[in-house]
Chain A
Amino acid sequence: MTSSSKPSRSTRLAALTGAALTLPAIAQLAHGNTPTAKTEFGYRYSQYQEDDADKDKVFVGSPERYEVKNHQFRLATPVGDDKVLTIDADYETVSGASAYGTAAGPDGKPMLIMSGASIDDTRKDLLASLRTSREDGSLTFALGYSTEKDYEAFNGAVAFEKLSADRITTWSGGVGFSSDTIEPVQTDGINRIDSDDKWSANGFLAVAKVLSPLWQVQGGVFAALWDGYLSDPYKARDIRPDQRQAFGFTGRSRYYLKSLQAALHTDYRFYNDDWGIESHTLEFSWHQSLGDHFRIVPMVRYYSQSQADFYVETDSVLNTGNQSSDYRLSPFGALSWGASLILEQPDYRITLRGEQYESDGDLALKNVDVENPALVNYTLVTVGFDYRF
C-alpha cells in the first residue's frame, strides 16, 4: 500500500509481524474442499471499517484509520474422477491512516503520531490448489501469489489427509513456504530501506476423531519460522530481530444437538513465540437451523496476548537495540461478536454476516499498566453467494 502525500503512509507491517507471516497456501489447504461432482463458484464482498482513534490520544495527524473493501472469488471444479481444482482470488482496496509512532504526552502516557489520511493501496492475491482424493484420504498441492504496490509474495504448500480403516480417525498435516519482498514507498526527509526480503516456513499436524454420531473433535500442533527483514519500515523507529520461531496447538469440537437442530462449535488456540509473545484464543459459535433452508450463526471470540520482549511504550532515540511501539506487539485483549444469516438451497447459498471487534488493555488476561493508544476497534460486514452448476 502506498500513500500519496506526506508524512507518508504509515505502518501496515503485518507483513513483517505475524500477519502475512502465515502461509496462505498451507492455510487454504486446511480448509478442505470436499470432492464435488459439480463446479462451485463463490463470491464475497466485505467492508471493513476501523473506528477513529481517540482524539485525546492523537499527538499529531489524522485520527481516521483504515477502511478496506474486499472482493473474494472462489471457483472449485472437478478434474477427472478424483481431483478438484480450486482457484481463490482476492481484490482489496485500502485507505486511511495508521500509527507512525508514539511519543510521551503531557501526563507521560503514550500518544499517537498518525500518518496523514493518505494511504491508498490495492492488494491482489491468487491461490490455486489441486486436491487428489482417494478412498482413505487426500493429497493437495497449492501455489499462491500476492502483490501490492510495495509488497510481493510467492508461496506454496503441500498437505495430506489420512483416514483410518474404520473412518473414525483422520490424520492431517502439511508444510508450506513463502518468499516475500518489500520495497517501501519513499518519502522526502525519511530514511527508509530501498528493498528487503524475508522467507517463512510453517507446518501443522492434526488428528480428528469421531466420538459419536453427534460429536467430533480435533487436536493439532503447528510451528512456524520467519527469517529476514521483519521490521516495519513505515514506523518512526522499529527494529526487530531478524528471526522468529513460533509454536502452538489447537483444539476444536463440533457437537450436534439433535433436539435443537443446532451445532455448537468450540475452537481454542495457544500460541507462543521466541519474541516473548504468548496468546490464547477461544471462540464459540452456534449454528442454528431455522426450518429447512435458513441457518443463523451467532459467534463470540476472545483473544489475549502478552507483549514482545522488545516492545516499548514510546519511541525514543535514546532506546537502543531491538524496539517497537507497534500495538500489535503490545499486551492487550480483544472481544469480538457477530452473526451470520444463511439461506441454503440445493444449487445456491446466500450469506449475510456482521462482526464487531474491540480491543483493550483491560481485556487482557494479565494486568496491563499502560495500554497502547493505537489498539483498534472495527466493524466487518460481508455479503456473498455460492452457486453450484
Chain B
Amino acid sequence: MKYVMLILSLTLTACSTAPVDSWERGDLARTAMQWEPDPMESAMRSHIYNAKEAASGGVGTGGGGCGCY
C-alpha cells in the first residue's frame, strides 16, 4: 500500500498545473488523444501479448477466457 500511495502522490505532485477551461479542450477530445482510441484493437493485442508473455495486467489491458495459443 505504501508503494501505491507513493506512486500516486508523486504523480499528482509532479503534475500540478493551472486549470484548463472547457473551451480549451478541443484537442484533448480528439479520438487520437484518448487513452484507448480503438478499444477493440487494444483488446485483441492485449489478448495476444498475455498469451505470449509472462506479464499481464495494467490499466486498459484485456483478453477473454483462455485463448492461450
Residue numbers of A with Cβ under 8 A of B are 1, 11-22, 24, 27-28, 30-33, 42, 44, 46, 48, 66, 68, 70, 72, 74, 88, 90, 92, 94, 96, 98, 123, 125, 127, 144-148, 151-153, 166-169, 172, 180, 182, 202, 204-214, 216-222, 224, 246-252, 254, 256, 258, 262-263, 269, 271, 273, 275, 277, 279, 281, 287, 289, 295, 297, 303, 305, 308, 328-329, 334, 340, 344, 351, 353, 355, 357, 359, 376, 378, 380, 382, 384
Query: In the bound complex, do residue A24 and residue B63 qualify as a contact, i.e. CB atoms below 8 Å apart?
Result: yes
Report B17-59 residues with CB < 8 Å from chain A CB.
17, 19-20, 22, 24-28, 30-59
Chain A residues whose CB sits within 8 angstroms of the CB of B53 once the complex forms: 18, 279, 303, 305, 328, 334
CB-contact partner of A22 in B10, B38, B56, under 8 A: B56
Cross-chain pairs A/B with CB under 8 angstroms, 25 sampled: A15-B68, A17-B68, A19-B50, A22-B50, A22-B61, A28-B43, A32-B36, A90-B67, A96-B69, A125-B64, A151-B65, A153-B64, A182-B66, A207-B12, A209-B11, A213-B28, A248-B55, A252-B59, A256-B28, A256-B33, A263-B32, A287-B37, A289-B32, A378-B48, A382-B41
Chain B residues whose CB sits within 8 angstroms of the CB of A273 once the complex forms: 54
In this complex, the member of B4, B34, B43, B56 whose beta carbon has the largest number of chain A beta carbons within 10 angstroms is B56
Residue numbers of B with Cβ under 8 A of A are 3-4, 7-8, 10-12, 15, 17, 19-20, 22, 24-28, 30-69
Query: In the bound complex, do residue B36 and residue A340 qualify as a contact, i.e. CB atoms below 8 Å apart?
Result: no
Chain A residues whose CB sits within 8 angstroms of the CB of B20 once the complex forms: 168, 210, 212-213
Given known pairs A22-B61, A123-B64, the reply for A353 and B50 (CB within 8 Å) is: no
Query: In the bound complex, do residue A148 and residue B67 qualify as a contact, i.e. CB atoms below 8 Å apart?
Result: yes
Chain A residues whose CB sits within 8 angstroms of the CB of B15 once the complex forms: 209, 211, 217
Query: In the bound complex, do residue B58 and residue A207 qualify as a contact, i.e. CB atoms below 8 Å apart?
Result: no
Chain A residues whose CB sits within 8 angstroms of the CB of B66 once the complex forms: 12, 14-15, 19-20, 123, 146, 148, 151, 153, 180, 182
Query: In the bound complex, do residue A146 and residue B48 qualify as a contact, i.e. CB atoms below 8 Å apart?
Result: no
Chain A residues whose CB sits within 8 angstroms of the CB of B65 once the complex forms: 15, 20, 24, 123, 125, 145-148, 151-153, 180
Distance (whole angstroms) from the CB of A273 to the closest CB of chain B: 8
Taking CB as reference atom, which chain B residue is nearest A15?
A: B66
